[in-house]
Amino acid sequence: MKELFFEVSEDDVDGGYTASALGYGIHTQGDTTEELRRNIKEAVDCYFEKIEDVPRIIRLHFVRDEVMAV
């Protein structure tokens, strides 16, 4: 595998960010984007047993939900 995609969203209730890997059971969170990136790397390393299975590229897709009153 060359790439792994994470969907990242802001947690409206508690603050911070949550991230989930698309197609894999990898989930993590962090109070800041820097902490989130560290936690994602750690979660990916823990998820894959063999070093050669760890993806070379991790892409973060930030999703923002916005409500507008009309």
pLDDT tens, position by position, 5-49: 999 999 888 889 999 999 999 999 999 999 999 999 999 999 999
CA distance 40 to 34: 10
58 part of a folded domain: yes
13 part of a folded domain: yes
18 part of a folded domain: yes
68 part of a folded domain: no
β-sheet bridge partners, residue 4: 58
pLDDT the model gives residue 12 = 80
17 part of a folded domain: yes
pLDDT the model gives residue 67 = 82
Q: How many CA atoms lie within 13 A of 15 on its CB side?
A: 3
Q: How many CA atoms lie within 13 A of 16 on its CB side?
A: 12
Nearest to 17 by CA among 42, 34, 3: 34
Q: Global pTM?
A: 0.86
β-sheet bridge partners, residue 17: 10, 30
70 part of a folded domain: no
Contact at 8 Å (CB) between 47 and 1?
Answer: no
Range of the domain at 58: 7-63
How many domains, the chain?
Answer: 1
30 part of a folded domain: yes
